[in-house]
Structure 1
Amino acid sequence: MSTKYKATMPGFGYFITITTVGWIDIFTRARQKYILTDCLRYCQQQKGLEFYAYSIMPSHIHLVCKAKEGGILSDTIRDFKKFTSKKIIQTIIDYPESRREWMLDYFKNTCKHLKRNQQYKVWQDGYHAEVVYSNWFLKQKINYVHNNPVADKIVKHPEDYLFSSARNYADLENELEVIVLNMF
């Protein structure tokens, strides 16, 4: 597998996008979004992940993050995807979801071609990662992450979206602590 868009360079920050299979809108329910924020919080506390920006969109998640010294970002992303996949499927099974059967069938069918024994597949293979190489690039990506819910017409202002670090930058109540950069 290509490493072109993987977080393979230790000590560097990355702009990362992780996308659901078929771009399915899984994260339309708060319960599903909290699975992601809880897991990201765990990655902060237990795996040494530093977040500078994030936004949970209906079918994908954007992160601007870095593994603390000694941490391997690609391993953390792999573990994040594996853990959240199981939790997302269990939540679809356990809680009311109007698209339950359709979603479970879709996630099951995406596994048919896989060599490994897997019942459901929630996330696309891999993820898209771009190394943060300058302050200009960092600022541009954080603005992109924060404005994504506005561009998607979810909210009118970035700081109105509860599942985004735009609230941290606006000094509002938030769901996940991030390192707020003083470049804005």
Structure 2
Amino acid sequence: EENVQESRREWMLLMMERAGKKNSNVKHRQFWQQDNHPIEIWSLKVFEQKLNYIHQNPVESGFVTDTIGWKYSSARNYGNNDQTLLEIDVN
């Protein structure tokens, strides 16, 4: 489903194309960062910290005002027990 009101579409595609040109492994566009830095989740506290960080990203970027407002976020599962889009065992 395409959102005709999305004003950043062309800009986002351009940015992904530029990122893809810098990497010989990418044919068209690159969405994810190339490097990753794995962090060991060694306690519940660290898990909750990382999960909260991920859930806050759309809020910090200004896309939504609340973590459960982002359609593809697992925050909906944790906050509302909403399993309609993504099924997650939150126990």
TM-score by length of 2: 0.65
1:175 to 67, 79, 85: 85
Q: Call closer, same or farther: CA 1:125–1:171 in 2, change over 3 Å.
A: same
Displacement of 1:120 = 3.3
Determine the structure 1 residue equivalent to 2:75: 166
Contact conserved, 1:149 with 1:155, CA < 8 A, in 2?
Answer: yes
The C-alpha deviation readout for 1:102-126, integer Å capped at 9, x for no partner, is 4575255213xx4x6x533514323
Equivalent pairs: percent with the same residue? 28
Amino acid at match of 1:124: Q
Q: In structure 2, list runs of 5 or more residues that go unmatched.
A: 4-8
Structure 2 counterpart of 1:120: 28
Q: Shift in Å at residue 179 of structure 1?
A: 2.2
- Alignment correspondent of 1:55: none
Residues paired across the two proteins, number:
83
8 Å CA contact retained: 2:74, 2:86: yes
Going from structure 1 to structure 2, the CA distance change for 1:152 and 1:121 (only over 3 Å counts) comes to: closer
- Please tell me whether residue 139 in structure 1 is matched to residue 51 in structure 2: no
5+ residue gaps, structure 1, are 1-28, 31-96
Q: Distance in 1 between matches of 2:47 and 2:27?
A: 38
**Partner of residue 21 from structure 2, selected from 109, 122, 130:** 109
1:105–1:139 distance in 2 versus 1, CA, 3 Å = closer
Shift of 1:177: 1.6
Contact 2:77 2:87 in 1 (8 A): yes
1:155 match: 64
Moved over 4 A (4+): none
Deviation at 1:165, TM superposition (A): 0.3
